[in-house]
Amino acid sequence: MDILKNLGLLINAMMTYTPPLLLAALGSCFSERSGVVNIGIEGMMTIGAFVGASTALTFGNPWIAFLCGGLAGALFGLLHAIACVSFQADQTISGTAVNFLAPGLAVFICKRLYDNSTDTPALNASMKLPKFFDGVFPVGSFWNNVLCNYSVAYLSIILVAVIWFVFYKTRFGMRLRAVGESPEACETLGVNVYRVRYLCVILSGLLAGFGGAYVTLATVSQFRPIVIVGQGFMAIAAVIFGKFKPQGAMWACLLFGLCNGIKVLATTSNTVSPNLISMIPYIVTILALVLFVGTARVPAANGKPYSKAR
């Protein structure tokens, strides 16, 4: 019985931690596979988190808020695309700029809107994304812990399948993968490299924005600058871990989530140093990489600006 209970908690912790990470990682897949390095994911998540919370407070509807959070991320994706695709700027520098600009802007607007405070007011229950199986099972029961998750958490898993399909079974998917490998070859074959890359980078911003909005609309119910700390970089790590494939990124995110669950179960006393326990995700990642995954093959044209003129 105890094993079942702990298993339920493990799955619950995994489903708490994974969805925002997974959404951002799927975004990162789009960008990286099309050949644009996007380390601005973190910043896009932050602005998504703020806009999500803020629009929920304004309109009272979580779905509109979730969408707006994604659009805010997409806006920064557009900025990143303009810099990297049209102007062939250094992608790392542009991404870093996004990471400074987006959180800064989020805090600035927050202070303007909410009485000079860096936190938004708290959202009430009706402004939060709905849960599946809410109230169906008794609180604290195994099935409640396993099944009663936010609808978007399920959606994010479904999205993996959708994006897998887009990547590998559609013409657009083939083009985006090809653009990430050899933009010159694509251009000679009549593919509009700029258009594909623009679309992919904006999509990556959209999904990262969704990931950020998930944090403020589901994990907690308020925006604070500390709600996004490093999730964006974890998402990028998950993509590399997952060999730049959406399904790979999903397994990586689930693994990170599982480690988080182990952390929760293991820190109920001080028998093992909490600092050691905090290392679990990183140790597991290193071991998994070395033993099972091996090196990821980076898309050949990733990080290289492409100019039509050359």
Contact residues for other proteins, defined by CB under 8 A: 5, 8-9, 12-13, 16-17, 111, 116-119, 121-122, 125, 131, 139-141, 145, 215, 219-222, 224, 226-227, 229, 260-261, 263-265, 267-270, 273-279, 283, 286-287, 290-291
Displacement of CA 184 from its chain's centroid (Å): 30
Closest approach of Cβ 143 to other proteins, in Å? 12
- Distance (Å, whole) CA 298 – CA 180: 9
Q: Which of 196, 236, 187 is nearest to 81 (CA)?
A: 196
Q: Which of 26, 108, 41 is nearest to 73 (CA)?
A: 41
Closest approach of Cβ 49 to other proteins, in Å? 11
Closest approach of Cβ 39 to other proteins, in Å? 20
- Distance (Å, whole) CA 84 – CA 247: 27
Specify the residue, 19 or 183, whose C-beta has the smaller distance to other proteins.
19
- Distance (Å, whole) CA 136 – CA 144: 8
Integer angstrom CA distances of residue 62 from 54, 126, 127, 130, 232:
10, 8, 5, 8, 22
Specify the residue, 189 or 229, whose C-beta has the smaller distance to other proteins.
229
Closest approach of Cβ 60 to other proteins, in Å? 17
Specify the residue, 124 or 307, whose C-beta has the smaller distance to other proteins.
124
Phi-psi domain of 59 (left: phi exceeds 0; alpha: psi -120 through 50; beta: other): alpha
Q: Which residues pair with 150 in a beta bridge?
A: 131
Closest approach of Cβ 70 to other proteins, in Å? 20
Closest approach of Cβ 187 to other proteins, in Å? 39
Closest approach of Cβ 88 to other proteins, in Å? 33
Q: Is 160 exposed, middle or buried (0-12, 13-18, 19+ CB in 10 A)?
A: buried
Closest approach of Cβ 7 to other proteins, in Å? 11
Specify the residue, 164 or 233, whose C-beta has the smaller distance to other proteins.
233
2-33 helix and 151-169 helix, angle to the nearest 10 degrees: 40
Specify the residue, 222 or 247, whose C-beta has the smaller distance to other proteins.
222
Specify the residue, 77 or 281, whose C-beta has the smaller distance to other proteins.
281
- Distance (Å, whole) CA 295 – CA 288: 11
8 A C-beta contact, residue 230 and residue 131: no
Specify the residue, 135 or 190, whose C-beta has the smaller distance to other proteins.
135
- Distance (Å, whole) CA 310 – CA 93: 22
Specify the residue, 118 or 302, whose C-beta has the smaller distance to other proteins.
118
